[in-house]
Structure 1
Amino acid sequence: MTRFFPLTRSRALCAAALALALSGCAVTSGGASSPAGTTTAAAAPIEVKVFVGAMFEIGKNTGDRAGEFQNWYERYWKDAKPVTVPGALNPVFCNTDGVCGSVLGMGKVNSSSSMQAILLNPAFDFSKAYYVISGVGGTPPQRGTIGDVSWATWLVDFDLGHRWAPEENTPGAPTFMPRKGYEEYRRFQINPALVGWAMQLSANTPLKDSEGARNYRLRYPDAAARRAPSVYTGTHVTGDTFFHGPGMSKQAQYIAKLYGADDYVSTEMEAAAITLVIRRSHPTDRVMSLRGAVNFDQGNPKETTLQHLDPAPGETAGGFAETVENISNVGSRFVDHVVSHWPQWREGVPAR
């Protein structure tokens, strides 16, 4: 049964005041008010041309010791306002050219959950975006050296399988077996045409080096370890653990070959997971992984793996500052070209 209450004088005054207030404004779909007879359109999403995802920053985004993000930030976003994204570890920055970036967090879960939140946020339009997953890693001394920068040709997950202790196996046999059912998750080929463009644009980038890194390289007998830094391509292996030692390095190479990928050249902890998240929303033919080598994935012949993992003061590799600068110097050649030739790149990777 509906009950009716008499309209008292106080209620009548309240009702009149409310009607007067509402008569002067209109509520838009965004929840904001504007003068009667007008509407306020919601801000159009930012068309992302290139998204740069780093994994960590040491301190601030500018002005102190640089981590993976600072050199990118100082190049593209010093004047950009941060955009807070619920679910992402850090804000997103975008410049007026459509270059956006963020610190996603270290490891598969941190980085991929941040990427998912950013991709799904309505403030951004990723429908035509290219991605540069950018960070540091380790390299086997048989294939790389401190200060190198590599573009991935393949991303291989180090963890999706069965692994057991060497003493529980036939001596010298592999201690890893892929798990069935993960075939679509454990390996991603980077678009060869995109890699070709990246190398064409960046292979001759001048790379910085340090005296500390030059001296450290001499501890290794391998020709690749002793050479000056360069830009090249190969497989990046994604693992949640900082695997070290010749045994783990051999296993990473074994897994790369088992999956039909190129030679393993860089350790990392995020790219395969981030790529899988992107694939849930968009094609992955515009995804790239860029890594700089700040350490070898194993000790020299005169040290144990534990000594390599926990070096004495003054025994570290050196070259970190130079390497993170090399990464952004190499990567920006690709980013700048895409942005400056956007009409040719917007609909897909152009022919070279």
Structure 2
Amino acid sequence: MKLTSVLTIASVIGSAIAQPLSLEKRAINNTALEDAIPATTKNNIQASYAKPFSIYQPKAFIISMFELERDPWLESLDFIHNITVPGLSPIYTTIHCTTNFTICQITTGEGEINAASSVTALGLNPLFDLSKTYFLIAGIAGGEPAYTTLGGVTFAKYAVQVGLEYQLAYQDYHAEEPDWLSGYVPYGVDGQYTYPGNVYGTEVFEVNEALRNRAVELALTAKLNNGTTANAHIRSLYPDKVAQELPTIYKCDVVTSDNYFTGNVLNDYFANLTKVLTNGSATYCSTAQEDNASLEAFTRLDKYGLVDFDRVIVMRTISDFSRPPPSINAVEFFFNTSQGGISASLDNLVLAGTPIIHDILSKWDSVYEAGVKYESKNYVGDIFGTLGGTPNFGKKSFEIA
């Protein structure tokens, strides 16, 4: 059978499998980076073994969590194709792709459930061969003033899920345990300062440090949005030197929790828990809701060759501080004080994220397709060693809950 016939049949079957499917073009925007991101030199179909009928093979995929994170990318890159994929968020049903489908973008919906569901739906969709795709998780976050500032850009090596714990109200524990930092206690133990006795397997993920470092190296060449006068005022209220400075690029780690926490007590506790769960390796500097959920989905997809976990980058820009300055109490700071960092953080998603996207496309044939130059030298994956190797975090034995 001729190749053209095979491709025609594959397209029909793929479309049928993926129903409902709509493919239409968006109007080309006026700020498309056509000169900065050249067309691919090789756009042939090479489906992975698990997806013989796939049509699209993006080289880079941008993962946003909600519309404010999505829109700066749609305004900056030449996303003209819309692809509706079953299983995505009912609010964000569409994947956007550039002219030749080399870059695509998905919006997962906020929170762990939405992120895991959407990434899984994308990874299992028969239209996409993602076996060589690079993924940039690009979202905004709260920031620890000791390690970053408003508008700052963080690239993580570790993602730590801090919400999987017992929880007691203050009134129920403070008399018996006056030294506890908070009402949280890790699963399977009766104190706050030890590793959990029970784990679910999603508590810690480690991503490719070499690729993270390349993304940082390139992001450092970007001219960031430094924010507003109001941002400068909020920064000046902190004693931390990093918090007072203009934003730049930081290598530090992200915590995941569906619970939107703030204040000194919880931040101190979760910072300590991050050290406990990673055997002292991780430094918590940004707080988000989705990253461990997305990384769990990528882990499961990698297990069957559908994605390459080694090609995942986690970037978070800082829209607000996760704890108040000394002069303002936590309640007042959280509910009544405008930090104003959202604008700079959204702009810096694109400003700091585009350089690695550009590098992937411009050096695809010589560097990134094979994935050798920036392949991981560190352990990558979850606490179970699902993708091979031995984690450098956790403990020798634990009960799997």
Seen in structure 2, the aligned counterparts of structure 1 residues 174 and 220 have a Cα distance that, compared at 3 Å, is: closer
Partner of 1:81: 81
8 Å CA contact 1:92–1:100 kept in 2: the answer is: yes
Could you state the TM-score of these two structures normalised by the residue count of structure 2?
Answer: 0.71
Task: Return the alpha-carbon distance in structure 1 between the equivalents of residues 286 and 81 of structure 2.
Answer: 33
Identity percentage of aligned residues: 27
Shift, 1:340, TM fit: 1.1
8 Å CA contact 2:160–2:255 kept in 1: the answer is: yes
Task: Return the alpha-carbon distance in structure 2 between the equivalents of residues 262 and 349 of structure 1.
Answer: 25
Partner of 1:178: 186
Shift, 1:174, TM fit: 4.3
- The match for 1:258 among 255, 269, 276 is 276
Partner of 2:323: 298
Shift, 1:28, TM fit: 5.9
Task: Return the alpha-carbon distance in structure 2 between the equivalents of residues 56 and 351 of structure 1.
Answer: 30
Q: Secondary structure at the match of 2:327?
A: coil
**What is the total number of aligned residue pairs between the two structures?**
304
Partner of 2:30: none
Task: Return the alpha-carbon distance in structure 1 between the equivalents of residues 322 and 96 of structure 2.
Answer: 33
Task: Return the alpha-carbon distance in structure 1 between the equivalents of residues 83 and 374 of structure 2.
Answer: 35
Seen in structure 2, the aligned counterparts of structure 1 residues 225 and 109 have a Cα distance that, compared at 3 Å, is: same
Q: Secondary structure at the match of 1:92?
A: strand
Amino acid at match of 2:104: C
Amino acid at match of 2:362: S
Which segments of structure 1 move beyond 4 Å, counting only runs of 4 or more?
A: none
Structure 1 residue 132 and structure 2 residue 136: aligned? Answer: yes
Task: Return the alpha-carbon distance in structure 2 between the equivalents of residues 122 and 135 of structure 1.
Answer: 27
Structure 1 residue 100 and structure 2 residue 135: aligned? Answer: no
After superposition, the C-alpha distances for 1:277-300 in whole angstroms (9 at most, x for unaligned) are 111111422111111111111122
Q: Secondary structure at the match of 1:102?
A: strand
Partner of 2:244: 226
Task: Return the alpha-carbon distance in structure 1 between the equivalents of residues 372 and 137 of structure 2.
Answer: 18
Task: Return the alpha-carbon distance in structure 2 between the equivalents of residues 300 and 280 of structure 1.
Answer: 41
Task: Return the alpha-carbon distance in structure 1 between the equivalents of residues 88 and 185 of structure 2.
Answer: 34
Shift, 1:177, TM fit: 3.6
Task: Return the alpha-carbon distance in structure 2 between the equivalents of residues 238 and 293 of structure 1.
Answer: 15
Seen in structure 2, the aligned counterparts of structure 1 residues 257 and 111 have a Cα distance that, compared at 3 Å, is: same
RMSD: 2.2
Shift, 1:182, TM fit: 2.3
- The match for 2:310 among 271, 276, 285 is 285
Seen in structure 2, the aligned counterparts of structure 1 residues 145 and 256 have a Cα distance that, compared at 3 Å, is: same
Structure 1 residue 204 and structure 2 residue 221: aligned? Answer: yes
Amino acid at match of 2:179: G
Seen in structure 2, the aligned counterparts of structure 1 residues 316 and 347 have a Cα distance that, compared at 3 Å, is: same
Partner of 1:245: 263
Of residues 294-303 and 229-238 in structure 1, the stretch that sits farther from structure 2 once superposed is 294-303
Shift, 1:110, TM fit: 1.1
8 Å CA contact 1:235–1:256 kept in 2: the answer is: no
Task: Return the alpha-carbon distance in structure 2 between the equivalents of residues 239 and 291 of structure 1.
Answer: 14
Q: Secondary structure at the match of 2:106?
A: strand
8 Å CA contact 1:156–1:236 kept in 2: the answer is: yes
Could you state the TM-score of these two structures normalised by the residue count of structure 1?
Answer: 0.81
Shift, 1:141, TM fit: 1.5
Partner of 1:24: none
Q: Secondary structure at the match of 1:117?
A: helix
Structure 1: stretches of 5+ with no match in the other structure: 1-26, 33-41, 58-66
Q: Secondary structure at the match of 1:172?
A: coil
Shift, 1:351, TM fit: 4.6
Partner of 2:378: none
Shift, 1:198, TM fit: 1.0
Partner of 1:35: none
Amino acid at match of 1:171: P
After superposition, the C-alpha distances for 1:72-96 in whole angstroms (9 at most, x for unaligned) are 1122244x22100111022101121
Give 1 or 2 for the bigger CA radius of gyration.
1
Shift, 1:206, TM fit: 1.4
Structure 2: stretches of 5+ with no match in the other structure: 1-7, 16-51, 188-196, 303-307, 376-401
Task: Return the alpha-carbon distance in structure 2 between the equivalents of residues 206 and 191 of structure 1.
Answer: 25
Amino acid at match of 1:172: D
Shift, 1:44, TM fit: 4.6
Shift, 1:165, TM fit: 3.4
Task: Return the alpha-carbon distance in structure 1 between the equivalents of residues 350 and 133 of structure 2.
Answer: 19
8 Å CA contact 2:252–2:282 kept in 1: the answer is: yes
Seen in structure 2, the aligned counterparts of structure 1 residues 319 and 28 have a Cα distance that, compared at 3 Å, is: closer
